[in-house]
Amino acid sequence: MQKRKKTACRGRAAMSNGIYILGLAVTLTLLATPCLAQEPTDKESSTPSSAWKVDRWYIYTSLYTRHFDPQPEHVNKQKMLGIEAQMTNNWVFGLSSFDNSFGQRSEYLYAGYRWALFHSPYWYFKLTGGLLYGYKDEYKDKIPYNNLGIAPAAIPTLGFHYKSFVMELNLAGNAAINVTAGISF
């Protein structure tokens, strides 16, 4: 009975530390956003702040995951739900919640940039970087630099956008690819 109580207390402490660190990361991201603003190159733009307005919101979920080196403990149903703000200057900011490769609830808080491909209004490449939380216990060493329970991450993405429909192919390090789909508005 004592052992179970200690384990439960450790789990709550780890969760509250994770929530604290995630909140700190969100705060730092919001504080850093105005520092990233650049003067517009288009002389018709009215002010630099007009480039930092939300152009569209994107809500997405995962459809398919494939691990490059499948293991019996890998989970291929991520139960992902994410939201992303796409700015008028092609910057993106988002938060995704999902089950990681080992079935642990995880979050990815990120910022990134989106480039049009082939001068197409439909195809784009997006690179995001941010903080990944959720790899714990025996799986904490499965991602690099996860000493504090939060690790840096970078996700390259190939995307397709038509009207309100969006589909993306994400490369999750050297572990897996993930296909997501959603709507933008």
1 versus 129: which is more confidently predicted? 129
Q: Within a domain: residue 141?
A: yes
Q: Within a domain: residue 17?
A: no
* Structural domain that includes position 85: 50-184
Q: Within a domain: residue 14?
A: no
Q: Within a domain: residue 159?
A: yes
Q: How far apart are CA 57 and CA 55, in angstroms?
A: 7
Pair 139, 151: CB distance under 8 Å:
no
Q: What is the mean pLDDT of the chain?
A: 82
Average pLDDT estimate for 41-64:
78
The number of folded domains in the chain is: 1
Q: Within a domain: residue 121?
A: yes
pLDDT in tens, 92-104: 999 999 999 999 9
Q: Within a domain: residue 83?
A: yes
Average pLDDT estimate for 15-21:
46
Q: Within a domain: residue 5?
A: no
The CATH number of whichever domain residue 177 belongs to comes to: 2.40.160.20
Q: Within a domain: residue 161?
A: yes
CA atoms within 13 A on the CB side of 63: 10
161, burial (CB in 10 Å: exposed 0-12, middle 13-18, buried 19+):
buried
CB atoms within 10 A of CB 160: 15
pLDDT in tens, 24-51: 444 444 444 444 444 444 444 455 667 7
